[in-house]
Amino acid sequence: MSDLRIFSYLPNPRIWKATIAARICGVEVEVRGSSPKDLQSWLWDFDAHRLSSDELARSGDTTTGKIGFSGTLHKTRAFIEAHPFGTVPAAFSPDGKTGIFESNSIMRAVARLGEKRFPLYGRDAYEAARVDSFLDASLVFARDSQIYLLSLLNGTVSPEIHSRMSDSFAVYLGGINQALSPAREFLVGESVSIADICFVAELALFFNEKARSAELEKKGLKPILHAGVDLEFPRAFAHFSRLRAHPAFAPDVEPYLKKLESSTRSDASLRDKFAARAG
C-alpha cells in the first residue's frame, strides 16, 4: 500500500512536487489520473477510476466543472468530504479518509512522511519557516501563471494579463536569483529542500508559454521567456538547469520539457515555411 495516493489530471507539473520529494526521501506515492478532458469519464474518489459505460449511466454523483474543466464531472460524496473545494490534484491518506489539497500542501505531506530519511522541510524550525516563505511566494506566481497560461490556451490573453504576468515573473525570478547569491547551491540550507522542488515545478509549468508563442505574436505581445531571459536571472536559470538533470527530478521534468521544446521547434519551422512562401 502506498503512503499517499494522488488523483489528478495528467501531465501536471504541480504533482511533481510530491513525486520528486518522494524519490528523495523514500516515500511511496501512487498517482492516478488522465487528461483533463478524459477526467469527465472518471469517478473522482479515493478509488478513482475510469467509469464504464454502465457506471456512467447509473452515476448519481455529478457536478458541473468549473475552472479548467467543463461539462459534467462525477464526484462522490466521500470525495467532496475529503476535498471541500472539489479540486485536483487531490491526495489521500492510505485509508482514504483524510484529504490533502493544493500541490504545496501535498508536497509538504510527503516531506513530513519522509523527514527521518531526508530533511526536505529544513533541519530546524527556522529553516522550515524559510522554506514556507518561498512556498508562499510561489503561490502568487502560480496564481498569475495559471491565469496567464489559460488565457493563452483559450485565446483571451490581453495586454493587461500579459503585463501583470511579466511583473509577477520578474518579482519571483528576481527573488530566487537573489536567494542564490552570491554562489549558493540551494534556496534554503545546505541541501535540496521542497523550496527548490516547488521552484522547478512552477517554472517548468510556465514553459508552456513557449508552445503558445503564435498566440502572443497574434496579439502583438512578446514572450516573457524570451531568448535572453536566462541572462536577466542567471543564478535562477542555472539552478533550474542543474536540478532538472538531478536523478530525482529528471524522470518527471525532462520528458515534459523535451516535448514542449519539440513542439516549439515544430511551430517555428512551420512559421518559417509560411513566411518563405509569403515572401
When pLDDT is averaged across residues 256-267 and rounded to a whole number, the result is 79
Does one domain contain both 107 and 202?
no
Q: Are strands 4-9 and 29-34 parallel, antiparallel or unpaired?
A: parallel
pLDDT grade for 267, boundaries at 50, 70 and 90:
low
User: What's at 278, amino acid-wise?
Assistant: A
Q: How far apart are CA 18 and CA 88, in angstroms?
A: 13
- Domain contains 42: yes
Does one domain contain both 70 and 157?
no
Does one domain contain both 23 and 157?
no
pLDDT grade for 56, boundaries at 50, 70 and 90:
confident
- Domain contains 274: no
Query: Above 80 in pLDDT, residue 142?
Result: yes
Q: How far apart are CA 26 and CA 23, in angstroms?
A: 5
- Domain contains 119: no
pTM: 0.90
Does one domain contain both 95 and 155?
no
Query: Above 50 in pLDDT, residue 272?
Result: no
Does one domain contain both 163 and 255?
yes
User: What's at 222, amino acid-wise?
Assistant: K
User: What's at 35, amino acid-wise?
Assistant: S
- Domain contains 261: yes
Query: Above 80 in pLDDT, residue 268?
Result: no
| Average pLDDT score over the chain | 91
Q: Are strands 99-101 and 90-92 parallel, antiparallel or unpaired?
A: antiparallel
When pLDDT is averaged across residues 197-207 and rounded to a whole number, the result is 98
What's residue 277's pLDDT?
39
Q: How far apart are CA 141 and CA 198, in angstroms?
A: 11
Q: How far apart are CA 127 and CA 125, in angstroms?
A: 6
Cell of 220: 502583438
Q: Which of 56, 80, 113 is the last residue of a domain?
A: 113
Does one domain contain both 104 and 174?
no
The residue ranking higher by pLDDT, 58 or 156, is: 156
Which residue has 501512487 as its cell numbers? 30
Decide: 26 and 118 in contact? Cβ < 8 Å: yes
Does one domain contain both 137 and 167?
yes
Q: Which of 62, 85, 113 is the last residue of a domain?
A: 113
Query: Above 80 in pLDDT, residue 58?
Result: no
Instruction: Please give the residue range of the domain that contains residue 26.
Output: 4-113
Does one domain contain both 132 and 259?
yes
Three-class secondary structure of residue 173 per DSSP: helix
CATH number for the domain harbouring residue 88: 3.40.30.10
Closest by Cα among 217, 174, 219 to 199? 174
Q: How far apart are CA 168 and CA 190, in angstroms?
A: 28
Closest by Cα among 234, 240, 242, 210 to 223? 210
Number of domains in the chain: 2
Distances (CA, A) of 168 to 2, 172, 195, 205: 37, 6, 18, 15
Closest by Cα among 138, 91, 136 to 110? 91
Q: Which of 113, 143, 165 is the last residue of a domain?
A: 113
What's residue 274's pLDDT?
34
Does one domain contain both 92 and 155?
no
pLDDT grade for 273, boundaries at 50, 70 and 90:
very low
Predicted confidence (pLDDT) per residue in 203-250, tens digit? 999 999 999 999 999 999 999 999 999 999 999 999 999 999 999 999
What's residue 262's pLDDT?
84
Instruction: Give the DSSP letter string of 213-269.
Output: HHHHHHTT---SS-TTHHHHSHHHHHHHHHHHTSTTTHHHHHHHHHHHHHHHHHHHH
Q: How far apart are CA 247 and CA 61, in angstroms?
A: 41
- Domain contains 130: yes
- Domain contains 147: yes
CATH number for the domain harbouring residue 153: 1.20.1050.10
Q: How far apart are CA 252 and CA 244, in angstroms?
A: 9
Predicted confidence (pLDDT) per residue in 88-130, tens digit? 999 999 999 999 999 999 999 999 999 999 999 999 999 999 9
Predicted confidence (pLDDT) per residue in 119-130, tens digit? 999 999 999 999
